[in-house]
Structure 1
């Protein structure tokens, strides 16, 4: 599991940074929100003021993001580590912890392939995805 260095800690916890104009990324957020019974995770689009600051703190280009990020336990996780961290903290998805046995370079190669082609395969919104009323309280802007 890759942890960010100590200077890259973030004061808010259980925050998922995502590309708000990416259809796949927005569906990921809805998937997590629907299964997060404890309402543990909060979300921020990289295009929001808060999301841009978070991205810049972790050297993610807000204009061309190549990874999602999740802050969990005060530590930032990226790419496949980020996705597995989120999934493994959802009810009935704890089994994904076993996927950490797959070598990280292989997991991240698959992640990178999807990330590079996400707009072409899944599409892109003209503007940031707007969550419904029930989810809005969990969005940091």
Structure 2
């Protein structure tokens, strides 16, 4: 089963990954952003968040290995369709995840939450269109996280 909407997560209790022996222990003091490390758009987006997350409030990991892969499997998230953002033990995807990233970063970024008034039945098709075409439109790297700087790669868990 692949999770495709935010409401699909209703069956998961907060921090449910703690009970999954396949998910390695990790520092839960910061939210975790799990992304496709071969996608140029995804890597560029992660780099943008890192540059603006000056306090280092968010941790990042690749969906294709270790922790990220285990979290995606636990939640039934196909990293080829969306990223995964986990905050306070709860999973978020698509635009819901971006709004949660804005909350986590705080400050003026929280103002972006005003766009939450746009319903998911409008936002999700836009997200899905970009996700389906991201390699064609933005490219794919063979070297993991190639679009991140050395300092940014050092922030990956």
- Name the TM-score class by shorter chain: 0.7 to 0.9
Q: How far is the alpha carbon of 1:133 from its aligned partner?
A: 3.7
Of 62, 84, 89, the match for 1:74: 89
Once superposed, what is the RMSD of the aligned Cα atoms?
1.9
Of 121, 135, 138, the match for 1:119: 135
Aligned to 2:36: 19
Q: How far is the alpha carbon of 1:8 from its aligned partner?
A: 6.3
Runs of 4+ in 1 over 6 A off after TM superposition: none
Aligned to 1:53: 70
Partners in 2 of 1:43 and 1:30 — Cα distance? 10
Matched, 1:97 2:104: no
1:26-60: CA deviation from partner (whole Å, max 9, x where unpaired): 00110000000220101011112211111101112
Q: How far is the alpha carbon of 1:137 from its aligned partner?
A: 4.1
TM-score by length of 2: 0.78
TM-score by length of 1: 0.86
Over 3 Å counting, the alpha-carbon distance change for 1:133 and 1:75 in structure 2 is same
Contact 1:10 1:71 in 2 (8 A): no
Of 127, 134, 140, the match for 2:151: 134
Q: Which runs of 5+ in 2 are unaligned?
A: 1-5, 19-27
Partners in 2 of 1:58 and 1:52 — Cα distance? 10
